[in-house]
Amino acid sequence: MNTATRLGLYAAGLALAFGAAFTVAGAAIPKTVVAERMATAAQAHGGHDSMGDMGDAAVPHGVTLAAGGYQLGPVRAPAEIGSAGTLSFTIDDAAGHPLRDYAMSHDQELHLIVVRTDGSEFRHVHPERTPDGTWTIPWIWRAAGSYRVFADFVPGGSADSVTLTRTVDVAGPVTLGPVPTEVRTARVDGFDVTIAGDLRGGASSELTVSVAKNGAPVATLQPYLGAFGHLVVLRDGDLAYLHVHPKGADPQPGQVSGPTVTFAAETPSSGRYLLYFDFKVDGAVHTAAFVLSQDH
Ligand SMILES: [Cu+2]
């Protein structure tokens, strides 16, 4: 599997969108930039990890609500924190009809990533599809703020993944701290997870994640969605989206691995990247979050 994936070329002017973000509460992503991206781009962006790269794209992957002839319909969700409800949406085809024909990709028809625009509150979940094509999942917001919702799927009969995104605002008091330049260690659910390697512009970067618990390496990583780990990489600012799978052979049923998982990620630009590593141990899925910065 070719795990090297690029986010795609920078759109001119996009550079203005980040760098200065994240120090101002509530202003992590200038909404005007997201709106412009959403309004202007409606072109296909192939380039999921195994689909080769997408260096020709004028707009990065995962910053538009329409791509490849599909559009993410309005996202319905609870309007404020703490109230239990449902998050739902449709993927609409060019005729405006909900898409009901999906190819399986990493054991699922659709992967839903939800993250607050400061990179916190990350969730990677798999909603259920009703016969009419509506995707639904029970939902409670834990924190107020502005969120990005990413739907990552492969339309039936297609070989290319599509990533569509929208912004959802959640009412309530917002506390946003500054995002650090670098976070290489994370403690999640009793696991200590570290990431080694550096991002390099325009080249494939090898990133190795190691999992330990109580000081001992964890060598019992289980296959999760067809891999020993998944890495979602979001570019700080526009939250351009990259989903990377490990190097090496896919897991066999019953096989376990660890304590390290190695990825090859190709990021196109300098800047700060938010990384989320999903892994599974003893039947439970955990997510470790990191921050890496690329100087050039
Ligand atoms: Cu998924």
> What confidence score (pLDDT) does residue 152 get?
94
Mean pLDDT of the chain: 80
Going 50 to 53 to 57 to 59, the CA torsion angle's sign is positive
Choice among 18-27, 28-37, 53-62, 158-167 with the minimum mean pLDDT: 18-27
> What confidence score (pLDDT) does residue 30 get?
40
Q: Does position 16 have pLDDT exceeding 60, yes or no?
A: no
Q: Are strands 271-281 and 284-294 parallel, antiparallel or unpaired?
A: antiparallel
CA of 223 to the centre of ligand 1 (A): 13
286 band by pLDDT with thresholds 50, 70 and 90: very high
CA of 127 to the centre of ligand 1 (A): 9
Q: Which two tokens stand for residue 133?
A: 């094509």
Within 199-258, strands assigned E span: 204-213, 216-217, 221-222, 230-235, 241-244
Choice among 37-46, 79-88, 203-212 with the minimum mean pLDDT: 37-46
> What confidence score (pLDDT) does residue 289 get?
96
CA of 12 to the centre of ligand 1 (A): 31
% of the chain residues with pLDDT over 70: 79
Tens of pLDDT, residues 178-225: 778 899 999 999 999 999 999 887 778 899 999 999 999 999 999 998
Tens of pLDDT, residues 125-161: 999 999 999 999 999 999 999 999 999 999 999 988 8
CA of 242 to the centre of ligand 1 (A): 13
CA of 108 to the centre of ligand 1 (A): 7
CA of 245 to the centre of ligand 1 (A): 12
Q: What domains are there in the chain, each with its CATH number? A: 14-170 (2.60.40.10), 185-294 (2.60.40.1220)
CA angle 145, 149, 153 (to 5 degrees): 170
CA of 24 to the centre of ligand 1 (A): 31
**Better-predicted residue by pLDDT, 121 or 16:** 121
